[in-house]
Amino acid sequence: MTLLHAVLLGLIQGMTEFLPVSSSGHLAMTQHMLPGFEQPGILFDVLLHLGTMLAVVLYFRRDLANLLSSPFRKDEEAVLHRRLLLLLIAGSVPTAIIGLTFKDYFEGMFENIPLVGLMLLVTGSVLFVSEKFRRGNRKEKDLTFLDALVVGTVQGCAIIPGISRSGSTIAALLLRGVDGETAARFSFLLALPAVLGAALLSLRDLHAVPAGEFPLYLTGTAVAFAAGMLSIHFLLAVIRKRRLFAFALYCWLAGSLALTLTL
């Protein structure tokens, strides 16, 4: 891996993690085209995701502080925060089950670029349907455990490269009548335990990283963090204005291009 590889992939991860266009799909396609790129397992990819999740922690630091302190508070808002915390825990269960059960199988898909292209077409279709048929305006206080389990299951399936995690989870909540901004915030918060778990599982590959490449891994993570901060702000603005169609079109174009170049 070179410094250019680390910066380029970190930038791609940061720009695409929160936009509904599948960061894993873009990483897989870009890595496929970079000459000489190698990584142990998908450790570098996981560290890039960890960088963008640190952006979530910083961006939603007040929400996280309220959630984590809610079991020890007795004010009225603490009740809502405790309920939201339970929903996030409930949503993390199906994600963990799917991720742990199919981890090795999903990792093998990162080399299958035609599959990535096909899944990008699926992502585009999901975004199109969710924007066209979104209904309701439910807020955080209206979220149910069924909402959490549905979106947690969708997030687990989004391990497949080409399926956008943010796009599919936000789309699932939109179709269940949840307000767009609420759907995005819940999606971002739900991703935190999933990414942390994936990072811990990938630590076993650290020994295979050449000592001289550790700074490159950290550089890519830092770039992903910085770009992720901007990406979160941009997506929340797009969600408010109900403009997911543009991302659906982009996914269809990117998926079609991947299929055309590899088949």
The token pair at 156 is: 């687990």
Domain that holds residue 52: 3-262
The total domain count for the chain is: 1
Predicted confidence at residue 53, as pLDDT, reads: 84
State the average pLDDT over residues 90-98: 92
Contact assessment for residue 190 and residue 169, using Cβ atoms and an 8 Å cutoff: yes
Distance between CA atoms of 240 and 170, rounded to whole angstroms? Answer: 13
Residue 153 has pLDDT above 90, yes or no: yes
Segment 111-150, tens digit of pLDDT: 788 888 999 999 999 999 988 888 778 998 899 999 999 9
* pTM score over 0.95: no
Q: Would you state the structure tokens that stand for residue 132, as one six-digit string?
A: 């066209």
| Mean pLDDT across 184-198 | 83
- Residue 246, Cβ density class (10 Å: 0-12 exposed, 13-18 middle, ≥19 buried): exposed
Nearest alpha carbon to residue 127 among 153, 163, 161: 163
Which whole-number Å values give the CA distances from 118 to 25, 81, 192, 229, 238, in the listed order? 10, 39, 27, 29, 25
